[in-house]
A and B are shown apart, each in its own frame.
Chain A
Amino acid sequence: MFGNKNTQKGGMSIIIVGCGKVGSALVERLSGEGHNITIIDKDEAKIQAVTNMYDVMGVNGNGASYSVQVDAGIDTADLFIAVTDSDELNLLCCTVAKREGKCVTIARVHTPEYSKEAAFLKDKLGLEMIINPEYEAAKVMSRTLSLPMAEEVSSFAHGQVEMIKIRIPEGNKLDGLKVMDLGRDVTSNVVICAVEREGEVFIPSGMFILRGGDLISFVATRKDARGFLSKIGFKSEAIKDTLIVGGGKDSYYLADLLSRAGVQVSIIERDVAKCEALSVLLPKAVIINDDGTNEEVLKEAGLETTQAFIPLTGIDEENIILSMYAKQVSDAKVITRIARNNFRSIVNNLDLGSVIFPKYIVSEAIVAYVRARKNSMDCNIETLYHIFGSRAEAIEFIVENETAVTGKKLSELKLKNNLRIAYIRRHNNIIFPGGNDEIKVGDAVMVVTTHTGFKDIQDILQ
């Protein structure tokens, strides 16, 4: 009689220290999943802003202080996440929490010195998880650069399968093609899981007709993906050189990853001290001490000829402008990092190349961890990705027990709308399933859907 009751009962008790960009992204995601969340921050105004927006409780104070943690209910908390800007504080928060409560602790550690010792810290301090937003973002960016014509590349099943997002050019082979005819006309072993058209995300059925301008996400094995891309006329050469503006932590991580992969990296950074530090850390890279927002400097550094351009200054607006400029003067692959996330609709409409949101990358990792932890009995979430700016999810489940979905032909299961089973992984073989395939115990199943909050493989049923 009084409206729908759609919040799930009995969420976990979660304490989040720090309401910055990552903290509030976590609050947004986790409160939407029905958990009991308490936030701790030193800044009363930040707490006010978050508690006015989301159904969470705020505690004002230092998250590492024992009494503040008690106020926030550490004795009954299931999960403790410290994501303040200071690594030391995060580690201290988690250490105190670990001594006092029986909770699982997650700390954000992002300075390069510590992150090299992440495994040691995790082990010695008894933390369950260490997250490093800058490093995670760098990993995503370097993966994207390995397949430059794709907008986004994510890997699943320990790298066996890739999910690749591309934009279909007008007049391409795929323009006007029915999804079900893909196997006949182009290639099999590729599953199109999601399509974005005019700002809306669809999970296409067999009857769906692709059009030029659509953004599509498909899954395939690494080899098949490259074969498919060359068949539809996309070049698939890896990038040889990259120009990065800004010498922050994420630039360092990215440059490090790229150098190791043999890419020539140039970094433009305004601050001399930072340049010197980087030149020691990254001996192979070219470090240029100048203002990277200056047109002449960019030209001199070779913007017009570089194969990839990634602005990573501390200001989103500056990055956006730089990306737009790069798109105008060069053919380079451009990646734009958006740290804050205001005005997303505008960002989506601009031609900024591949856009990545580091705070979502981190919150995904934590959300997947939380979901898996909550339902560790039946099925496990192996990985979870948000695609199309978190408007759709790609989830890999491990099927550990007999359930309603196992042992039946897929065509007999009543699946939800807007949902697609992308692949089944059985004994390290990847199966792109048809109607006659079955899900068996021990399989890993990847599901792509626009529904949110899936926790169990059985959620795919209507």
Chain B
Amino acid sequence: MNSSMVRIIIAHIMKIEAVFLLLPCIVALIYGEKEGFAYLAVAAGSAIGGWILGFKKAEDKTLFLKEGCVTTALSWIVMSTIGALPFYITGEIPSYIDSCFETVSGFTTTGSSILNDIESLSHASLFWRSGTHWIGGMGVLVFLLSIVSLSGGSTINLMKAESPGPSVGKLVPKIKASARYLYLIYTAMTFIETMLLIFGGCPVFDSITLAFGTAGTGGFAIRGDSVASYSVYVQWVITVFMILFGVNFNVYYFILMRHIKDALKVEEVKYYLLVILSSVIIIFINVRNMFDHAGDAIRHTAFTVASIITTTGFATVDFDTWNTTCKIIIVMLMFIGACAGSTGGGIKVSRFVIIAKTIKKEINSYIHPRSIKKIIYDGKPAEHVMIRSVNVYMATYILIMTVSILLVSFEGEDLVTTVTSVITCFNNIGPGLNKLGPTCNFSFLSGFTKLVLMFDMLAGRLELFPLVMLFHPRMLKELVIGKKRR
């Protein structure tokens, strides 16, 4: 294990976080809040820590896949523990475990909160809370790659570990340029959404934080009732942008490069939109009678479906009161998640498409046992390695989920609460059902359960293996002791 390179990258991450932590300071300055000092102190600490950690340069600059995975997992843990400090120092969240839960939930773009009264928070903290979504959405290592030239091409292994989806490719030959394009698209879309919200009469602070929450598909709002009390226009804008941020970013790159044909070729997006449309129709039929106007029904339905499938977790309505069919569809959407290469979580539409095609092929092989048929995905034959990795991903996913549910069950809550708490955290959504519905929060859970859920959130965001790798005994040993080289 090249632990000095791991160290250097974590040092970079700490410096970047220090810069991001300065933004809430500016907010505090504008609103004249003393909480700003806590952010300033943590920013300074993080910058100094990063400087010390990165002081000694690495001799060998290669990063293999294992280093990529371990670095990514460690970066996210370090980032969360530092990001939690301001909440704890300002006393706005008295327990450090709770602060960590809130930050992990922010960075992983989950949006599950332990706060009973969100509106009592300072503007600085509200801004930081939503800001973590934005940072975590596209990924901090991708951000690092977009600004730093880490020598060698092996840095692709960092991107592989952090970006969601079964196969990670580059948009353009150079990784730095690829990462820049991603952040360019991401920032531009966030900006457009903010502007649209401001034009719709939404206050500037609310617009920015809502846009952050949508862009990262996070789901932290700054009001206790999430998005319910905003205007119809604001809710529609957020609905559309949630869906847009759940689309594979390659599509936007193709559109930007005027390769419209290539954009239309991305198979996953078609299925993604199809799932959204059919879910909206089914739920709309079921909930039509609960609202006075059909317009309200369609708005709330579309908002909820978009919020859940993109794993954002905003709410305009308490869907926990809907009938069982609707709730089952919502839970199914939680699993499906957004497209690969988007900011959303979940298992990803592409994996389901591949699995569906594998099943079809398998059934065909029962009819014609000697037939040979390659699975075609995105117009190309899918490599066996990719199909295998999707299958293994599913198996690991189910395993981790089952164990987590067992661990959370010690809490002694009812079945629905227990199961959905894990599902919602693992898929980075936010609200669950029953006691964890859109109107409730996670504060009543024990510290142990929160730790389990934090693990699930990180595992879900980093697509399982980077985090699991970190806890592999050999990796831990190599990281701590290091391997002797001559």
Contact = CB atoms under 8 A, between A and B. Distances in A.
Contacts of B153: 31, 51-56
B174 interface: yes
A36 B177 CA distance: 10
Interface string B4-27: 000000001001100000000000
B406 interface: no
Nearest to B68: A52
B155 interface: yes
A53 B170 CA distance: 14
A240 B176 CA distance: 56
B12 A55 contact: no
B156 A51 contact: yes
B174 A36 contact: yes
Contact of B173 (A4, A5, A7, A57): A57
A207 to B, nearest CB: 29
Given A2-B15, A3-B150, A36 B172 contact: yes
A13 to B, nearest CB: 8
Contact of A2 (B147, B152, B177): B147
Given A36-B173, A55-B174, A57-B173, A2 B157 contact: no
Nearest to A3: B148
B464 interface: no
A342 interface: no
Contacts of B151: 6
A1 interface: yes
Contact of A57 (B148, B149, B152, B172): B172
Contacts of A44: 383
A37 interface: yes
A2 B12 contact: yes
A2 B155 CA distance: 15
Contacts of A1: 15
Interface string B167-192: 00110111111000000000000000
Interface residues of A, number: 21
A53 B63 CA distance: 9
Given A51-B153, A51-B156, A53-B153, A2 B148 contact: yes
B12 A53 contact: no
A6 B156 contact: no
A56 B149 contact: no
A323 interface: no
Contacts of B173: 13, 36-38, 55-57
Contact of A52 (B12, B154, B176): B154
Contacts of A51: 153, 156
Given A7-B149, A52-B157, A57 B170 contact: yes
Nearest to B380: A60
Contact of B149 (A5, A54, A60): A5
Contacts of B152: 53-55
A219 B221 CA distance: 73
Contacts of A37: 173
A54 B169 CA distance: 14
A55 B155 contact: yes
Interface in A1-34: 1-7, 13, 31
Given A3-B150, A31-B153, A55 B15 contact: no
Nearest to A34: B174
Contacts of B157: 52
A365 B65 CA distance: 34
Nearest to B57: A3
A57 B156 CA distance: 10
Contacts of A36: 172-174, 177
A176 B157 CA distance: 50
A117 B173 CA distance: 35
B353 to A, nearest CB: 20
A55 B63 CA distance: 12
Nearest to B383: A44
Nearest to B157: A52
A18 B374 CA distance: 25
B149 A6 contact: yes
A55 B175 contact: yes
B98 to A, nearest CB: 32
Nearest to B170: A57
A56 B155 CA distance: 11
Contacts of B150: 3
Nearest to B155: A55
Contacts of B154: 52-53
A52 B156 CA distance: 7
Most buried by A among B16, B149, B150, B175: B149
Given A36-B174, A55-B175, A3 B383 contact: no
Contacts of B147: 2
Nearest to A55: B153
A56 B148 CA distance: 17
A9 to B, nearest CB: 10
A54 B151 CA distance: 9
Contacts of A55: 152-153, 155-156, 173-176
Contacts of B383: 44
Nearest to B384: A44
A13 B174 CA distance: 10
Given A5-B149, A51-B156, 15 more contacts: A2-B12, A3-B12, A3-B148, A3-B149, A3-B150, A5-B148, A6-B151, A36-B174, A36-B177, A51-B153, A52-B65, A52-B154, A53-B153, A53-B154, A56-B153
15 contacts: A2-B12, A2-B144, A3-B12, A5-B148, A7-B149, A37-B173, A38-B173, A51-B153, A52-B154, A53-B152, A54-B152, A55-B153, A56-B173, A57-B169, A57-B173
List of 6 A-B pairs having minimum Cβ-Cβ separation, nearest first: A55-B153, A54-B153, A36-B173, A57-B173, A2-B148, A7-B149
